[in-house]
Structure 1
């Protein structure tokens, strides 16, 4: 099959069609379109725009692509055909969009060309509804358990125009596919806010390049509006969004017409040198929120511990110390002791100030007819606290009532839960480290070459790699990473593309060959012209693929979500039943009186069992185990060069009993490694290693000189 595809591609390159009959390399003269369409179609005069009716857009399904290198080969093959204005291949959705002139090339010929490259292709007759949908992503703050995520997901799916909504608790993100004609991203965020959570927009789903700039030197809102007007006057600008509080400008643009360096120049020229524009720090919004949330939980736990430890000591430890015990048992009013009064005072701020987040979460959940983990915590701790409060007040007003309090139960429960929340949010933060490692594969800086109109080199400068624009010429020195996707216009070298292809052996590159951003230049200097920057780059597509995989729900996770929906009401019911059974058993002598501690009665013992059932049952473990495992699995796989398409693939992996690799070098690093040494002559080991190092350094220099 591969040899047949190779043969057909060679025949097509020589001008033969699929039926092996010769075809002309260029269309006959009568088939040329007239006027501007003819000028644009044959690639001359790009300033002249062809009439839209002369062009056609077709969408093809391409099956078999596994990486951006496959997409690049398909795109290159399509663009070689005559009459192709543009071609874009989406490896994530296995699709190719082609803009072409039907007078020069047909849809069948495009499909045959894709098949000749070695992939299955079919023309897609897109449904108008599906073609008009967008996919946006939101960051949702305040979710604590699976019930919260299910509530948000149900609220989003009830919105008119939403085709599908997925809310992931582990990543605290929502992915919504919606019809922009019926609903907007702002309305989706408002819907999330109405459920009691805060939504932050990550992407709107519109296929566009976007960059955020920080402006310094702007002092008034009028100056910000002047900057906005100056940016909107540039060609290729689609949208400008200004945040006057953070002095941040978000610009959506067409990379074929403009770029971030143009924005910085316009902003600085607008202020006559008073304004300074720089790229906004990466990950500002979500990362700062995550750090702040970790800090809040840590501080809350420390404050809770500060009050809880004395409560624990006075109720569990000091009672066995003779002198201290007598002081704590001293009566204040009637039967109210100093120890009970201290525990009441110390546990109150833990219950109502430090633990107020659980009251807020409970209110939000109950307001929308659902019950989450906060409801369980609030019920359990309030039951223990208010029963203890009743006991204390009864002791203070009655001369014969011996009280028993559970203040240590409520305060210690809140402290332990805050500790668990702190550890949980730390774990969730670490699961996204794989995404950060993928992003770090791209170099931070690049060497930009400037040329005059004749093509002569004027100079070079080091810039931020995010400032690279289309058609820029980038210099890549030996040992450096390629800063963007493009093709070589000068020089020759070997590039390590193992991060994309899995092949450990470096690939030779010379003039005309394509290179991928993030790959490593082994030797030789290359001049690369940028073709894909920003979100269009192969590395950005890999990051999006991993993010989509982490959002996808495994089949077992869907089952867990269904169970957790009824989990909290079931736990409350079981807790009440537990209390009732133990209380009735104690009242009717269902168990020996010796089971009841001396400081309790049957009612208090039953109450303690009921509280234990209510608080110890947590749906978080049920709802977080699977998504966290999926996040860790896909993230670690991506950092090792293995891309996994979601939890369904991971869940099915246990059925695999045979793996076939189609490339040599995939399982090896491509570099020899010394695993053991053996000395056949008496010599000091450190002297032997010095000789080996000297010989290796000399050999490397000789090889380098030979290669040059």
Structure 2
């Protein structure tokens, strides 16, 4: 039998999911083609966050597959001769085995694993804006393509002594993706902490059917997901309240500490309202939405980045000119320039260094992670923090 998922909109003052299911089943009482049940959606954002964590974990593992050997060939082995001497063996002219291996290992990281930065840059530039993706793409591409240029020149020259920057490009992309992976894990833990607060509600409730004389006709155990407005529920002593409501008969004490912070149970009599985990779940939903919003400092970083990217590019160009023009004019010794290199290439190295070093990785990664972790930690301690805006304003609270 085929199954279908149907989204139904209704007025909660007139009907509810239990009534809709009942009418569908009544209509199909003589047929097996009309059976209905409530489809319980996963917790909001959970599926998306799980997918995000898996994606970043996969990228992280692929990154390790390429970046760790590259780091070994470019940094570790050359420092411990004779184990790294074989990397200096020349394949053709001045092209060495080490340069060739670094090129092979860097290329998948630059264009496949780092594809997200190209996509982000494309969307930003289409909107005539610039963000951190643009700066990352500029810095890593400058390092990569300059390194490709050194390979080409080394293969065509018998005296070239230039240095490639393949490990720089690879490690920059790798560390950014590692930060994104850690951030996604922090977000997942925060969501789990908030979920624990709403998992306190009972799964079932006792529904009473009342007669015209206001006497109880029957008692039925139903899922709390099927409770409708104006239902009359029976709450047993010591059990939890499945929804918010008004006491119509009986008396007792209710623990509302999760809402009010008051540890002493509150006496309830007919006509009194009581609050349950339903109200708490609504508060948690508000906190979740607030967490997705950017904190004021993040918005400030976004505004600054629009000008910062242009400023970095301008500084890189000025740095290149500051080294190229004096070099062409012979204002510094030729011994500063490696063999088979010229003033243009030396100046280009300094310009690329500016692009690589200037990326605001800390502000782009640390701020959202700090907000997510702090709100999650607060949730585990029973303190709900409504996003980064509330955290930034908290320092203004005076101790009395």
Which TM-score tier does this pair reach, normalised by the shorter chain? 0.7 to 0.9
Aligned residues: 396
Corresponding residue for 1:348? Answer: 107
What is the Cα deviation at residue 368 of structure 1?
1.4
Instruction: Give the TM-score normalised by structure 2.
Output: 0.83
Corresponding residue for 2:151? Answer: 392
Question: Take 1:277 and 1:637, find their aligned partners in 2: how far apart are those partners?
Answer: 37
What is the Cα deviation at residue 334 of structure 1?
2.9
Question: Take 1:579 and 1:603, find their aligned partners in 2: how far apart are those partners?
Answer: 8
Question: Take 2:340 and 2:67, find their aligned partners in 1: how far apart are those partners?
Answer: 21
Unaligned runs of 5+ in 2: none
Match of 1:476 among 235, 241, 265: 235
Corresponding residue for 1:409? Answer: 168
Alpha carbons 2:160, 2:341 under 8 Å: kept: no
Q: Tell me whether 1:577 sits opposite 2:329 in the alignment.
A: no
Question: Take 2:181 and 2:238, find their aligned partners in 1: how far apart are those partners?
Answer: 41
What is the Cα deviation at residue 362 of structure 1?
1.3
Corresponding residue for 2:41? Answer: 281
Q: Equivalences for 1:296-375 in 2 at 5 Å?
A: 296-322=55-81, 324-375=83-134
Corresponding residue for 1:265? Answer: 22
Corresponding residue for 1:543? Answer: 284
Alpha carbons 2:189, 2:376 under 8 Å: kept: no
1:129-174 per-residue CA deviation (whole Å, 9 max, x = no partner) reads xxxxxxxxxxxxxxxxxxxxxxxxxxxxxxxxxxxxxxxxxxxxxx
1:594-623 per-residue CA deviation (whole Å, 9 max, x = no partner) reads 7x8899887666545443432343445436
Question: Take 1:438 and 1:450, find their aligned partners in 2: how far apart are those partners?
Answer: 31
- Aligned-pair Cα RMSD in Å: 3.5
User: Higher strand share goes to which structure?
Assistant: 1
CA 1:630–1:564: 2 relative to 1, 3 Å: same
User: Higher helix share goes to which structure?
Assistant: 2
Question: Take 2:251 and 2:290, find their aligned partners in 1: how far apart are those partners?
Answer: 37
Q: Equivalences for 1:573-652 in 2 at 5 Å?
A: 573-583=314-324, 588=330, 606-619=347-360, 621-622=362-363, 650-652=391-393
Q: Equivalences for 1:187-206 in 2 at 5 Å?
A: none
1:291-341 per-residue CA deviation (whole Å, 9 max, x = no partner) reads 111111111111121112222222223334555544333332333222222
Secondary structure at 2:180's aligned position in 1?
A: helix
Match of 2:2 among 215, 218, 233: 218
Question: Take 2:399 and 2:90, find their aligned partners in 1: how far apart are those partners?
Answer: 76
What is the Cα deviation at residue 356 of structure 1?
1.4
What is the Cα deviation at residue 561 of structure 1?
4.0
Question: Take 1:571 and 1:383, find their aligned partners in 2: how far apart are those partners?
Answer: 13
Corresponding residue for 1:43? Answer: none
Unaligned runs of 5+ in 1: 1-216, 220-246, 519-536, 660-708
Alpha carbons 1:494, 1:507 under 8 Å: kept: yes
CA 1:296–1:560: 2 relative to 1, 3 Å: closer
Secondary structure at 2:38's aligned position in 1?
A: strand
CA 1:394–1:449: 2 relative to 1, 3 Å: same
CA 1:602–1:299: 2 relative to 1, 3 Å: farther
What is the Cα deviation at residue 514 of structure 1?
2.1
Question: Take 2:98 and 2:349, find their aligned partners in 1: how far apart are those partners?
Answer: 20
Structure with bigger RCO (C-alpha 8 Å, 6+ apart) = 2
Corresponding residue for 1:190? Answer: none
Corresponding residue for 1:249? Answer: 6
Corresponding residue for 1:222? Answer: none
Secondary structure at 1:538's aligned position in 2?
A: helix
CA 1:488–1:354: 2 relative to 1, 3 Å: same
Alpha carbons 2:131, 2:302 under 8 Å: kept: no
Alpha carbons 2:206, 2:222 under 8 Å: kept: yes
Secondary structure at 1:341's aligned position in 2?
A: helix
CA 1:539–1:599: 2 relative to 1, 3 Å: farther
CA 1:541–1:296: 2 relative to 1, 3 Å: closer
Question: Take 2:64 and 2:327, find their aligned partners in 1: how far apart are those partners?
Answer: 35
Alpha carbons 2:136, 2:359 under 8 Å: kept: no
Corresponding residue for 1:657? Answer: 398
Secondary structure at 2:248's aligned position in 1?
A: strand
1:642-675 per-residue CA deviation (whole Å, 9 max, x = no partner) reads 666666655444344344xxxxxxxxxxxxxxxx
Question: Take 1:648 and 1:338, find their aligned partners in 2: how far apart are those partners?
Answer: 53
Structure 1 or 2, whichever has the larger Rg, is: 1
CA 1:540–1:325: 2 relative to 1, 3 Å: closer
Secondary structure at 1:461's aligned position in 2?
A: strand
CA 1:352–1:641: 2 relative to 1, 3 Å: closer
What is the Cα deviation at residue 548 of structure 1?
6.2
What is the Cα deviation at residue 288 of structure 1?
1.3
Secondary structure at 1:279's aligned position in 2?
A: coil
Match of 1:381 among 126, 140, 152: 140
Match of 1:490 among 222, 242, 249: 249
